Chains A and B, each alone.
Chain A
Amino acid sequence: KAGVTQTPRYLIKTRGQQVTLSCSPISGHRSVSWYQQTPGQGLQFLFEYFSETQRNKGNFPGRFSGRQFSNSRSEMNVSTLELGDSALYLCASSGGGQLSSYEQYFGPGTRLTVT
């Protein structure tokens, strides 16, 4: 089975721009979660989508948004980029059921640099 794929792997953007990151979960997985990882804050949960609906959200400003498509693929968008948004953005997929939700499989991440 193919793992979680994320595109692009690397991205450089300028302050004020917006960016869209893509995640394709493991086939059959219905839940997709997004995390931000920075040296200062570590791994932080952004949001989770299940069956095209956001069912959990972390403590991030509204500039961070996401969506999930009917094939479970997910995108996250960050608008009006700030220097502090430079981070590794990780996507994780899981079956979405009660006991499997925490058994998450992570992609390689998208490293975003904001200049």
Chain B
Amino acid sequence: DAKTTQPPSMDCAEGRAANLPCNHSTISGNEYVYWYRQIHSQGPQYIIHGLKNNETNEMASLIITEDRKSSTLILPHATLRDTAVYYCIVRPPSTGTASKLTFGTGTRLQVTL
């Protein structure tokens, strides 16, 4: 599995965009990038995933570099409720026998007034 590297913590002012980086320099061609977040004392929440192209949904945008060695999760207008630990996970398509998620230590995002 490709290893991911994330900064341990980041701060963001409410209303500003939060840009969370993830380095996955050993990613393979068929591996997807997934992002989850975990708000204190709750279960992790799926945010978004992508393979090559940039992706956007109602929660966030995912920008993957052309060489796919890194990606950035963008929360366009961060609110206090976005304060959480954000996990970047790289996984190949499930073969039916390898669908477990491997969580690292993530980035603790603190959104402040």
Contacts and interface: CB of A to CB of B under 8 A. Distances in A.
Contacts of A43: 38, 44, 101, 103
A103 B33 CA distance: 11
B43 A42 contact: no
Contacts of A21: none
B: contact size bracket? 20 to 34
Nearest to B45: A106
A56 B32 CA distance: 19
A97 B96 CA distance: 7
Interface string A63-87: 0000000000000000000000000
Contacts, number: 70
Main secondary structure of the interface of B (DSSP, over half): loop
A56 to B, nearest CB: 5
Interface of A: 4, 31, 33, 35, 42-45, 48, 50, 55-56, 58, 90, 92, 94, 96-109
Given A48-B100, A97-B94, A103-B46, 4 more contacts: A55-B96, A92-B43, A92-B44, A106-B44
